[in-house]
Amino acid sequence: MPSPLILVNLKTYKEGTGNRAHMIAQAAELVARESGATIGVAPTLIDLHPIAHHFAIPVYAQHVDGVEPGAHTGHITADAIRTAGAVGSLVNHSERRLTLADIEASVKALQAQKLSAVVCTNNEATSAAAAALSPDYVAIEPPELIGSGVSVSKANPEIIQRSVATVRQVNPKVRVLTGAGIQSGDCVKIAIDLGTDGVLLASSVVKAKDPGVVLRDLVSRL
């Protein structure tokens, strides 16, 4: 059984960019080492290469396009993500919505580079569609709770339970994350007890005065 994944999406928060991205990655590496937990970060594309090279934690891109290297201005290829040292990428976040065809192309591009695909979804139907593409993870996040400070684990545990069941039914090899408002060890424990393989979160760590304190709390009940 791989250990649960705590994946921190730095989004484009000012508090998660540049020096702060390094500071958060450093705290994540320290807490991961102390606790034995798996803590990953998804920095902006600008910070991807330096973070992946400076730290021994799993680093993910926030987006990848399903295109081959070549004449595609402004695109992000899976090949470039792998070269930068990332282990995978988020695909289709509520803040970066893609069509099903785009999601499929992105997942295939990641798989071709042996990178991990974390497809974000917003309900059970999209979770089922995502699971059918056989990504490594489906991450279910009710959009109304994202950045709200209200945890999906406490406000809507039913959606976690139903999504886990849906994904398992479509493809039992796909692991499930959940996110939105995750902020404490209690939230993580509830999510794992409901059958997930970890959490995807952002603001509680990124906007914290001391991200290390929040990270320690997040892994405290694993």
Q: Which is nearer to ligand G3P, 79 or 123 (CB)?
A: 123
Beta carbon of residue 92, minimum distance to ligand G3P (angstroms, whole number)? 11
At position 134, the amino acid (one-letter code) is S
CB 117 within 8 A of CB 107: yes
Q: Which is nearer to ligand G3P, 53 or 184 (CB)?
A: 184
Q: Which residue is nearest to ligand G3P (CB)?
A: 203
Residues of this chain that interact with ligand G3P (CB under 6 A) are 9, 93, 141, 146-147, 179-182, 200-204
Q: Which is nearer to ligand G3P, 67 or 148 (CB)?
A: 148
Beta carbon of residue 74, minimum distance to ligand G3P (angstroms, whole number)? 22
Q: From residue 146, how far is each of 83, 105, 142 by CA, in Å?
A: 31, 26, 7
Beta carbon of residue 207, minimum distance to ligand G3P (angstroms, whole number)? 8
Residues 6+ apart with CB under 8 A from 52: 59, 84, 85, 86
CB 202 within 8 A of CB 21: no
Catalytic residue positions? 93, 141
